[in-house]
Structure 1
Amino acid sequence: MSTSDPQAHLRARLAADSELGAGNVLVKLREHGADPDGPGITFDVPVDGRPAWTALTLGELTERVAARAAWLHERGIGPRDVVAVYAASAADVLLNFAALTWLGAIPALMNLNMPGEVAVQFIQRLRATAVLADAERLPLLAGRDLGGATLLPEIGQTGTGEAAKAPAHYRHHGSDPIAITHSSGTTRVPAAVVHSHDSLFAAIRRVRLTEARPYGQTRELSLLPAAHTAGIITLNQALCNRYELAFLSNQGGPIGRSGEAVLDAIERWRPTGVFGFAVTWAELARHDLATRDLRSVRNWFNTGDCAHEAHIRRLVAVGSHPERRDGVVVEVPGSKFIDGIGSTEMGHSAFQITHRLGSDRYGRCVGKPYPFADVALLDLETGEPVPDGTVGHVALKSPTLALGYWNDSVTTFRTRFAGYYLTGDLMYKDAEGYYYHVDRAVDAVDLGGGDRLYTALSEERILARCPDVRDCTVVAGPQDGRVVTDVLLMLEAGADPGADRGPAIREALGAPAAATLRHITVADERDIVFGPTGKVRKFLMRQRHLAKAGA
């Protein structure tokens, strides 16, 4: 890249600005001379009279956020006030997130898939100052005990404020809490995870602002929930890199939108990169991608759970990427899939691996850690690192880590060990330094005799051996004094539901786990319990499905 590139100079200034963080990106872009007519964000819903899919410039985005900051300020919202945001529209969530941080308040972003009763309990735990909700969710909260929080008018009204009346932007310090998001959790009410001004920007500063810019124009489409940590990071990294970004709104369901709607959005907006969770790719895998125009897509970006090989291979087979041939850059078939396992508490993916056509490092390989991440695989009984090839508990030190759990010091300190944060994941590392994810610690089952059943790894192996299975869930746990395992299969369109897949599944499980196999069931999404972020809630699956199957 030429050193005369103004975007390169801007990115360098941003990376060097120690006061820049997740809570003040808009004001810092203005301070460092970013073009107000340059890219801001595009939403798939109307914004303050602007039609859906109308791009907001950086200047227009800043003005719309200032209008909301003025409206909130007039209603008494100020520094360190916790304000819950409970809405479906990505515009409502992200514009009000930015407005609340403008004031120095702490937005608590709630997934719209939280049922009303769970939302009430979540708000009570927050001890929030106020609540913003959309028209569909206001009735779920009206008249309820919200722990002293004021229920503000419908969230769409925040855009009616006068931008010129917004107070001066709050000056954040690095350790200031600037957002509370939710984990998927294994309990009924998600945990409230609190992030700092520095932590939620650390990966952008250390990686995204210093890596080489992609060739040509960059247009990114986010399928991530706007209320998720990953949604905030995606917005801020696009703004700081001056990329074009479109954000789809979540409309309910496991990923909030059908695969058909996602494919329609890709064809309409022509992104070069698409962001989503593993469940997103599973949803897309049910479609014949070769029949859709996905040529614009160069990169698929995954976070949360690591993605399955069966889904990745379908995605990298479509799209295109630039390649230099004989001194000329040409677009060639095939895209890249950047897998980055992460969690709300990790603040940003700690690992990364890139898959392409012809890639063969799968088996739930999550790659290698980012330079900013200090990863250890520990035996929690001895506190010592485990040898290569041995499964251990993932322990992480990283500047991206969340501060802890809001109003829950017990859980905060329970997840700390020897100076590390325990992610709750089980992995092993090979001799080349690549890490492989086998399961969540709470989902793995001790079979005795040194054998363990890893449900996530078993699902990966089943999908690899059963090409007519689109997705699957392995549920295992103790029942009547023994371990039992049930496998739920979601089939490809046209697959024979009566086919005998038992031998392939037993081979995938391995002999010790196969001995516990009780049922193989053809299922659909209605049989799976999903959390607010689309993760399968195996804790509830064990409680409900195993009990029902054993009745």
Structure 2
Amino acid sequence: MRTLSSRAALAADPAVGAGNVLARVLAGGADPDGPGLIFDTAVDGFPAEHPLTLRELDERVDARAAWLHAQGVKPRDPIAIWTGTAADHILGYLALTRLGAIPALINGNLAADIVAEYIRRLRAVGVLADAAHLELLRPHDLGTPILGDTAAIAEADPADAPAPYRHHQDDPVVITHTSGTTGIPKSVLHTHSSLFAATRHLLTMPQAQGTGRILNALPAPHTATVLMMNQALGNRAEFFALSSQAGEVVLDAIQRWKPQSVFGFSVTWAELARQDLSAYDLSSVRLWFNTGDCTHEPHVRKLVAQGNRDSMTREGVVRTAGSHFIDGLGSSEMGHSMFHVTHRVDTDTYGRCIGKPYKFVDVAVLNLDGTELGTGEVGHLGIKSPTLSPGYWNDSGTTYRFRLNGYYLTGDLVYRDADGRFFHLDRAADSTDGFYTAQAEERVLVACPDVADCTAVIVNENGQVITDVLLELGPGADPALDRTEVIRAALGAELGATLRKVEVSADIPKGATGKVRKVALRERQLIS
């Protein structure tokens, strides 16, 4: 682990940003034989799970940069990458940013017709894909050439790579996308400075416990993986990037690789929580770090009961049973989680608490006329932060639609308590007449321990609010048990009175990252 002064020196480097962390770490005197990155697939002759050193990682990036440069890729060229492996996404990102180009990372689970339309809207200069995804793209008009197979771009000589591009702080460095639960994903732009702003801040602080050996269970093409990879490189930490976020895959990797911390989204924690965790050796884990959507209390409680953490006592630092879970709220557009709250087995700050904002964030709870609301009042979450995306690529209309009174509107409904803690109630699009689906789901899960996960759908049909609750049962749960009255009571008098049905369902539509497509469920609910 690097000393605070070395990390602070990197943070103080005015040239460093999201587009050149690897190069600047090496230029700053990092040991070339120190930790680079680890992938779950073979890379350029190295077997899966081989710990690439910084030198090996740098050479693999240069090889790809040389190939892309020979194909005529230039600074500011948007290049789409659609693949199924973390290695292809991350190495492609590093190589393209080394040239000053703009990688547009696309989740490999999206449908081909959606990807084709997304690429057309990007007006990309070219496309890279692995063999399986290339085959899916062949029937579609992309409006741009396919540059090649991601396997081929590693074959060039690293010595042929041009000198690394010198980024300006405002230069675009990556385009990621939203989950696409409402249709074609929105393309989110990040700059050299915006996507490094949170990392720069964190590098000036003591390194968090458990961040020396990280298992990344975040989707590789997501903003969060780019962030966490750059943080790991800056911290000189070991970083193992998984290509799948499936619960059993993550648990197997924890048991085999023994990470100190695991980074992921709430959908992965839900999958982990429905497993028999006692069947796995999770003793190495000190920290679970969540970003994206807030995580439900029952899922957190199951995870913090696992692993170990260091605690300060009168006798000094001792190992204590049970891990930390850092929750919050983030999105591609936010550029980093905006809030943080830490859960342990002995804490009880739940009720969809997302904690307090990071110091670099200015937060407001707003009415849609821009008026700021006070303590306890529910409103729209507004954010000002140096981490924010400057907007949606090729879509200024949508960019400005989400701006109000100088704030970016995240699409979330929240309130603040008297202690300055924030609580997340729902996505605004999923809320109906002051009733909140995310809050309802949390209440159901707390009331029904045999339910592994649930989805609440609330609609207003001809002036009448109707609520349906779809259940995903845990192991051993009785599918014939009528839980309606328990759930009605858990929802509370007002929302409980709107409950139409409780259904055990495996037919829950989900997007590429595993998020439930509630817009599809609302449409289905209105015609049922």
Deviations 1:459-502 (A, max 9, x none): 01111111111110001113344221110011111111222212
SS at match of 1:240: helix
Q: Out of 525, 531, 537, which is 2:511 matched to? A: 531
User: Any gaps of 5 or more consecutive residues in structure 2?
Assistant: none
Distance 1:475 1:18 in 2: 48
Letter in 2 for 1:412: T
Go from structure 1 to structure 2 and tell me whether the alpha carbon gap of 1:216 and 1:226 turns closer, same or farther (over 3 Å shift).
Answer: closer
Asked if 1 retains the 8 angstrom alpha-carbon contact of 2:4 and 2:204, the reply is no
Distance 1:155 1:187 in 2: 29
Distance 1:112 1:463 in 2: 31
Distance 1:10 1:40 in 2: 17
2:412 corresponds to: 425
1:261 corresponds to: 249
Distance 2:80 2:526 in 1: 36
Write out aligned runs for 1:270-289 (5 A): 270-289=258-277
Go from structure 1 to structure 2 and tell me whether the alpha carbon gap of 1:418 and 1:217 turns closer, same or farther (over 3 Å shift).
Answer: closer
Q: Tell me whether 1:411 sits opposite 2:398 in the alignment.
A: yes
Cα drift, residue 512 of structure 1 = 2.1
Asked if 1 retains the 8 angstrom alpha-carbon contact of 2:32 and 2:53, the reply is yes
Q: Out of 203, 218, 225, which is 2:212 matched to? A: 218
1:198 corresponds to: 193
Asked if 2 retains the 8 angstrom alpha-carbon contact of 1:377 and 1:395, the reply is yes
Distance 1:221 1:71 in 2: 30
Asked if 2 retains the 8 angstrom alpha-carbon contact of 1:10 and 1:34, the reply is no
2:453 corresponds to: 471
SS at match of 2:490: helix
Asked if 1 retains the 8 angstrom alpha-carbon contact of 2:194 and 2:386, the reply is yes
Distance 2:150 2:508 in 1: 32
Q: Out of 108, 132, 138, which is 1:112 matched to? A: 108
Distance 1:431 1:223 in 2: 35
Q: Tell me whether 1:392 sits opposite 2:379 in the alignment.
A: yes
Distance 1:170 1:294 in 2: 42
SS at match of 2:475: coil
Cα drift, residue 336 of structure 1 = 0.3
Distance 1:442 1:425 in 2: 8
2:9 corresponds to: 13
Cα drift, residue 144 of structure 1 = 2.3
SS at match of 1:483: strand
2:233 corresponds to: 239
Distance 1:528 1:300 in 2: 26
Write out aligned runs for 1:311-322 (5 A): 311-322=299-310
Cα drift, residue 169 of structure 1 = 0.4
Distance 2:211 2:362 in 1: 34
Distance 1:536 1:168 in 2: 44
Identical counterparts, % of pairs: 56
Q: Out of 12, 30, 45, which is 1:49 matched to? A: 45
SS at match of 2:239: strand
Q: Out of 27, 32, 37, which is 1:31 matched to? A: 27
Q: Out of 431, 435, 438, which is 1:444 matched to? A: 431
- TM-score, scaled to structure 2: 0.98
Distance 1:517 1:547 in 2: 14
SS at match of 2:398: helix
Q: Tell me whether 1:141 sits opposite 2:137 in the alignment.
A: yes
Distance 2:3 2:162 in 1: 29
Asked if 1 retains the 8 angstrom alpha-carbon contact of 2:290 and 2:327, the reply is yes
2:126 corresponds to: 130
Which range moved further: 480-489 or 166-175?
480-489
Q: Tell me whether 1:482 sits opposite 2:476 in the alignment.
A: no
Which range moved further: 211-220 or 527-536?
211-220
Asked if 1 retains the 8 angstrom alpha-carbon contact of 2:211 and 2:261, the reply is no
Q: Tell me whether 1:157 sits opposite 2:122 in the alignment.
A: no
Distance 2:405 2:311 in 1: 46
Letter in 1 for 2:291: T
Q: Out of 435, 439, 445, which is 1:453 matched to? A: 435
Distance 1:125 1:8 in 2: 44
SS at match of 1:30: helix
SS at match of 2:512: coil
Cα drift, residue 8 of structure 1 = 2.8
Write out aligned runs for 1:510-521 (5 A): 510-521=492-503
Distance 2:375 2:2 in 1: 46
- TM-score, scaled to structure 1: 0.94
Deviations 1:33-76 (A, max 9, x none): 11111110111100001100100001110110010000000001
Over the residues paired in the alignment, what is the CA RMSD in angstroms? 1.4
Distance 2:5 2:157 in 1: 33
Asked if 1 retains the 8 angstrom alpha-carbon contact of 2:113 and 2:140, the reply is no
Name segments (4+ residues, structure 1) moved above 4 Å.
214-217
SS at match of 1:136: helix
User: Any gaps of 5 or more consecutive residues in structure 1?
Assistant: 447-451
Deviations 1:194-245 (A, max 9, x none): 00110100000012x0221246882100000110000100100000000111
Letter in 2 for 1:213: Q
Distance 2:392 2:522 in 1: 26
SS at match of 1:362: coil
2:343 corresponds to: 355
Distance 1:217 1:366 in 2: 21
1:492 corresponds to: 474
Asked if 2 retains the 8 angstrom alpha-carbon contact of 1:278 and 1:304, the reply is yes
Deviations 1:321-360 (A, max 9, x none): 1224454433221000000210010010000000001211
Distance 1:22 1:489 in 2: 41
Q: Tell me whether 1:508 sits opposite 2:493 in the alignment.
A: no
Distance 2:169 2:207 in 1: 27
Q: Tell me whether 1:187 sits opposite 2:163 in the alignment.
A: no
Distance 1:319 1:64 in 2: 35
Asked if 1 retains the 8 angstrom alpha-carbon contact of 2:266 and 2:294, the reply is yes
Letter in 1 for 2:159: A
2:444 corresponds to: 462
Letter in 2 for 1:249: S
